[in-house]
Amino acid sequence: MGRYVWIPAGITVFAGLGFAAAGNVERIVAKLPIAATDDATFVPPAPDDRVRLPYSKDGSATFIAVATAAPFGGAVAADPAPTVSLDDDGSSVAELARLAAAGDAAAETLDVAELADDGAVTATKLFDSDAPRWTARHFVENPLVGGVFRGDGLPSSASALLEEARSARYVLLGEIHDNPDHHRLQADIVADLARAGTTPSVVFEMIPERFGAALDSFRESGGSDLAALARELEWTERGWPDFSIYRPIFEAAVQNDLSMAPGNLDDAMVGAISKGGLKALSAEDVARLSLNDPLPRAQSEELADAIREAHCGLMPDAAIEPMSVVQRARDGAMADALIGAARESGSAVLIAGAGHVRTDRAVPAILAAREPESKSVSVQMVEVSDAAGSQADYGLKQDSPAPYDFTIFTPRADVTDHCAALRERMGRTAD
């Protein structure tokens, strides 16, 4: 049975899996070499669509969320306070047994959930924090929720993940952008690293290079007004989900006096690459962004296929190549930012969409090529796609491991099939 998890898209992902222009896909398409397509009927996907992306390479109908596209088409409102009670979802306390069993199966990943004084069921705890109840509501009863697994599908644990992270120079935390639970877990990991005595710099995909001075000034002045920082970063204007769901990560950095750094390319450079390719860059920028050598053919084809799928199969072929180049450039920019940040602080954490933390062709692969002696740990956070299933359904298999060191499963934030709605509006059917 096909399984789907939808990824946010202002995801007309400019650069495939990495960049969606801030809510204006028409503006994105205008930057591409459209002259190469003569399909006068092409209508680009709407910027607020969330789309699916295939993960399995064996031809099965399995899809997971790898929300690597940057800004949505408009901010997504999120109340940082909402909580989840299993009773609210029509489940019974009997579901606790399933959650506890999941913890046992995942090498004590989960603590047994307990009833609060008000009778609500508290969610599983990860990373030794006073974790809130799951904010995402869909499929919270799935026994995988809260589980930690290695890339080959073998059960692991939060403690094992943290132990590996503490010994790494680079820790890459891949998210679904609009899932508040992912940001809470990222914040927990950042805080744990600080408690362990390290001082990692926190690098954000969500922040382009032009805001580097603003981040430096905020820290040097002892700033604590995160709402003001969000305004300075033009967070809402650039189309990211509501700052409140990212706030825990910034709080973890501020409370532990950790530096913060931008990881993304500025719009001007993205536009130049999309129009002119590598010829638009200086030799220094080509080297800095690790674009000197092409991807191996198989990886290049996989990236192109992922970009097509991420656009609901509606993007013209002429747009795929420039999107692929920009995607690679953005991976290179994040890798370069991590290296620069770790040079100052000793280590660095990347906050990014899950597609950027793939070990096969994304940021970790670039880090391995540039600093083969440095250890990296890549973590993806995956929304479960229904109420059942096993880790193998999400591509975590011993014979074909996922390109991540660890996977954490969480409830799903949204179940809307925006691609189906988009095709219906356009009078098209899926291929």
Tens digit of pLDDT for each residue in 239-279?
999 999 999 999 999 999 999 999 999 999 999 999 999 99
More confident of the two residues 103 and 57: 103
More confident of the two residues 57 and 284: 284
pLDDT score at 430: 53
Average pLDDT of the chain? Answer: 76
pLDDT score at 199: 96
Instruction: Say yes or no to pLDDT of 100 above 60.
Output: no
Mind listing the domains of the chain with CATH numbers? 25-79+145-426 (3.40.50.11550)
pLDDT score at 318: 86
Per-residue confidence band for 424, with pLDDT thresholds at 50, 70 and 90: confident
Ranked by mean pLDDT, the top range of 10-24, 93-107, 373-387 is 373-387
Percentage above 90 pLDDT, the chain: 57
Per-residue confidence band for 95, with pLDDT thresholds at 50, 70 and 90: very low
Per-residue confidence band for 89, with pLDDT thresholds at 50, 70 and 90: very low
Instruction: Say yes or no to pLDDT of 70 above 70.
Output: no
Q: How far apart are CA 315 and CA 321, in angstroms?
A: 11
Q: How far apart are CA 221 and CA 241, in angstroms?
A: 27
Per-residue confidence band for 25, with pLDDT thresholds at 50, 70 and 90: very low
pLDDT score at 429: 60
Instruction: Say yes or no to pLDDT of 60 above 80.
Output: no
Range with the poorest average pLDDT among 49-58, 142-151, 223-232, 268-277:
49-58
In terms of Cβ atoms closer than 10 Å to its own Cβ (0-12, 13-18, 19+), residue 83 is: middle
pLDDT score at 422: 76
* Torsion angle of C-alpha atoms 72, 76, 80, 85, degrees rounded to 10: -100
How many of the other CB atoms lie within 10 Å of CB of 57? 12
Report the pLDDT averaged over residues 49-78: 34
pLDDT score at 428: 64
More confident of the two residues 249 and 84: 249
Amino acid at 195: R
Tens digit of pLDDT for each residue in 192-215?
999 999 999 999 999 999 999 999
Q: Which residues pair with 137 in a beta bridge?
A: none
Q: How far apart are CA 426 and CA 250, in angstroms?
A: 40
Per-residue confidence band for 423, with pLDDT thresholds at 50, 70 and 90: confident
Query: What strands, in cross-sheet order, belong to the sheet with 201-208?
Result: 148-150, 406-410, 376-383, 170-175, 348-353, 201-208, 260-264
CB–CB of 191/256 below 8 Å? yes
Q: Please name which of 159, 238, 253, 236 lies closest in space to residue 199, comparing C-alpha atoms.
A: 253
Range with the poorest average pLDDT among 237-246, 300-309, 374-383:
300-309
CB–CB of 377/349 below 8 Å? no
pLDDT score at 104: 43
More confident of the two residues 318 and 213: 213
CB–CB of 404/352 below 8 Å? no
pLDDT score at 431: 52
Q: How far apart are CA 263 and CA 341, in angstroms?
A: 10
pLDDT score at 309: 83
Q: How far apart are CA 263 and CA 251, in angstroms?
A: 18
* Torsion angle of C-alpha atoms 211, 213, 215, 219, degrees rounded to 10: -170
Instruction: Say yes or no to pLDDT of 319 above 70.
Output: yes
More confident of the two residues 94 and 353: 353
pLDDT score at 74: 30
